[in-house]
Amino acid sequence: MMRQPPIQPAIRVIQQEHDLLSAIIRGMEYFVQIIDEGGKAPDAKVFRAMLLYISDYPDRVHHPKEDNYLFARLHQRTDKVDDVLSHLESEHQRGDQMVFELQHALARLEFHGMKTFPDFRALVQRYAQFYNGHMRLEEDVVLPAALQFLTAADWDDINAAFQANDNPLAGTDDKEDLQKLFSLIANIAPPPVGVGPEA
Ligand SMILES: [Fe+2]
Ligand SMILES: [Fe+2]
């Protein structure tokens, strides 16, 4: 993935949010890997915490800001990236659906046991691939196009929107809950995967 210099605050926020999400996804893959290698299965609560974070934050805050500000403004300024944008917009919908499927697969794993693990593992792998590809497309195609086509006034609006949630743990009523969620996730994950509010 090619990283744009964060010359606009919104770009820095997007990159930080992508980093947090990547850390969560690595945590999911690690969870699956432990079980796959016959290790003691981590508490399912941790995986549920990861899914909760994804549905509460990226799915509810990050994607709508991309759709409503960054993508919307880019649609107005150029039609060069229309195909990529509509692909990404439909992936935002698809992402919500996949979180639901993961919740279901996890519940099946808890209730029906290891015979359902291959399905769960496949879904986690598919989700990781899906989301990593999604973020790469945004950073490699959309951000460079935004830097090329958007005006200073566009950036003012987009920066304001994204800075309103610069730090996922700041200024939300759920601050304590999110903090708890992150420490739960960080506790099972190995050092490179561990994430925290300061990450
Ligand atoms: Fe996105
Ligand atoms: Fe994104």
Distance CA 43, CA 144 (A): 41
Examine residue 40 and state whether it is found in any structural domain, yes or no.
yes
Domain that holds residue 106: 9-188
User: What is residue 199's predicted lDDT score, i.e. its pLDDT?
Assistant: 38
Q: In the prediction, which pLDDT does 172 show?
A: 53
Query: How far does the centroid of ligand 2 lie from the alpha carbon of residue 113, in Å?
Result: 34
3-class SS of residue 165: coil
Tell me, in angstroms, the distance from the centre of ligand 1 to residue 128's CA. 14
Extended strands (E) in the chain: none
State the average pLDDT over residues 64-79.
97
DSSP 71: I
What's the 16 CA to ligand 2 centre distance in angstroms? Answer: 10
The per-residue pLDDT for 175 is: 59
- The dihedral built from the CA positions of residue 88, 30, 184 and 115, taken in this order, carries a sign that is positive
Higher pLDDT, 91 or 186: 91
The residues, any chain, with a CB within 8 Å of residue 109's CB and separated by 6 or more, are 44, 116, 117, 120
Residue 87 lies in a domain: yes
Going from the Cα of 135 to the center of ligand 2, the distance in angstroms, rounded, reads: 5
Band of residue 116 on the pLDDT scale cut at 50, 70, 90: very high
Q: Is 197 within the bounds of a domain?
A: no
CA distance 114 to 124: 15
CA 89 to centroid of ligand 2, rounded, Å:
10
- With a cut of 50, say whether residue 165 has pLDDT above it: yes
* Domains in the chain, number: 1
* pTM of the entire predicted model: 0.85
Q: Is the pLDDT of residue 183 over 80?
A: no
Tell me the CATH number at 141. 1.20.120.520
For residues 177 and 179, give the distance between their C-alpha atoms in angstroms, rounded to a whole number: 5
Task: Report if residue 86 sits inside a domain.
Answer: yes
Query: How far is ligand 2, taken at its centre, from the CA of residue 180, in Å?
Result: 24
Comparing CA positions, the residue from 18, 22, 23 lying closest to residue 162 is 18
Cα of 63 to ligand 2 centre, how many Å? 6
**Is residue 66 in a domain?**
yes
Residue 161 lies in a domain: yes
Distance 137 CA to ligand 2 centre (A): 9
Confirm whether 193 is domain-assigned.
no
Which residues place a Cβ less than 5 A from the ion ligand 1? 66
- Pick the residue with more confidence: 128 or 31? 128
Please compute the mean of the pLDDT values over residues 9-29 and round it to a whole number.
90
Separation between Cα atoms, residue 117 and residue 97, nearest integer Å: 20
CA of 142 to the centre of ligand 1 (A): 10
**What's the CA-to-centroid distance between 170 and ligand 1, angstroms?**
21
Q: What is the pLDDT of residue 44?
A: 87
198 domain residue, yes or no? no
The arithmetic mean of pLDDT across residues 31-60, rounded, is 86
User: Nearest-CA neighbor of 117 among 181, 59, 175, 39?
Assistant: 39
